[in-house]
Every structure is written in C-alpha cells, then in structure tokens.
C-alpha cells in the first residue's frame, strides 16, 4: 500500500505477503478475489524481483502457478524462466497496492521506479508495443526457433486457421 512518509516521499509496503505459494494458494485466492492492483514476486535465493499490475490479480497469479502456462510463455517473460529454473517454492509473493482499475496506470510505474525489479525488461510500465529487443536477444530467439524454420511459408487451410485462432484465444495471457 502506498503510504506518505515524513519526508513526503512515497514508499511501497506490501498489504499481503505469501512465503509458501504452493501451500497458500487457497488463502491467496481468498485474499485477492475481485481485486485490482500491483504485486511483486521476489526470488528469495537471488533477491531478483518482478513487479506487475493486473485488473484481476487472482486470475493473473493463477497463470504464474500453472506450470504448463509458464512453460509455454517462458520465452516471453524473464520471470517465467526464473520460476522454471528455481522453482516456485523459492519465490515470495507480495500484494503491494490494491487499487481501482483506473489507478493502476499511475501505481504500477511508481512501484517499478521505486522497487527497480530485476526481472522486468521494459524501461516503462505498460505493454510491449514498440519495444525493441537487443541484437543479442534476437540471435538467441532465432537459435531457439531454428527448428521451426521448415514451417515458414506454409499455406494453411481456412479450417486450420480457424482452429488455431480459437485455440490461441483460449490460451492468450491475461493481465
């Protein structure tokens, strides 16, 4: 929760903290049902952290706890790779700032600037729109995807495109 200090600088104090994520799933769902806000994942081994906001915290946290979802999107998120590498048991979850849907736009950048999370690759809060990957990262992605190159240029039927469109809408990330 954002609080005013004596020097009138704002600080970030967590409203809820969960150390054993696997054992506290039910409590996490109960505490955050229907809430909007900013939260942080902290790797207790490396002290790395990740800050994010969501219009439905409970649903977004479920994505982090779903191993198949994390494996599917690990190439898109540094935090997912860290969760797969270290295991969810070494992460602590903090609900920093429950707020209204309209306030998220102001609160997330403040938390990012204050906490300086190491797993957050963008310089500013928001979407990946307009984000340019470094040359090194592009080379890594090409190397990782070189097995899929034979599929480039393939022409798909309308039925196949419809099936793919439907399946991707079911598994698209929610925020």
| Tens of pLDDT, residues 47-101 | 999 998 888 888 888 888 888 888 888 777 888 889 999 999 999 999 987 787 7
Specify the residue for token string 């399946």. Answer: 167
Mean pLDDT of the chain: 76
pLDDT at 105 over 60: yes
What's the confidence (pLDDT) of residue 144?
63
Mean pLDDT of 29-46: 89
Tell me, rounded to whole angstroms, the distance of Cα 79 from its chain centroid.
7
What's the confidence (pLDDT) of residue 113?
83
The residues, ordered by sequence, that sit 6+ positions from 36 with a Cβ below 8 Å of its Cβ are 53, 54, 55, 56, 57, 98, 99, 100, 101, 103, 104
What's the confidence (pLDDT) of residue 175?
47
Which CATH number is 2-129's, of 3.40.1440.10, 3.40.50.300, 3.10.20.310, 1.10.3080.10?
3.40.1440.10
Domain coordinates in residue numbering, the chain:
2-129
| Tens of pLDDT, residues 14-37 | 888 999 888 888 898 888 888 888
pLDDT at 128 over 60: no
**Residue 73 burial by Cβ neighbours in a 10 Å radius (0-12, 13-18, 19+):** middle
What's the confidence (pLDDT) of residue 122?
62
């Amino acid at each position: 929760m954002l609080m005013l200090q004596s020097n009138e600088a704002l600080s970030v104090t967590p409203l809820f903290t969960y150390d054993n994520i696997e054992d506290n799933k039910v409590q996490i769902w109960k505490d955050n049902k229907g809430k909007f806000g900013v939260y942080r994942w902290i790797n207790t081994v490396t002290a790395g952290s990740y800050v994010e906001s969501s219009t439905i915290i409970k649903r977004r946290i479920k994505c982090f706890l779903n191993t198949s979802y994390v494996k599917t999107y690990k190439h898109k998120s540094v935090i997912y790779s860290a969760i797969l590498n270290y295991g969810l048991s070494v992460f602590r979850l903090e609900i920093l700032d429950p707020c209204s849907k309209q306030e998220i736009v102001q609160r997330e950048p403040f938390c990012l600037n204050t906490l300086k999370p190491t797993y957050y690759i963008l310089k500013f809060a928001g979407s990946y729109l307009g984000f340019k990957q470094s040359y090194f990262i592009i080379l890594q992605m090409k190397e990782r995807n070189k097995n899929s190159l034979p599929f480039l240029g393939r022409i798909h039927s309308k039925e196949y495109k419809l099936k793919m469109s439907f399946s991707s809408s079911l598994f698209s990330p929610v925020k």
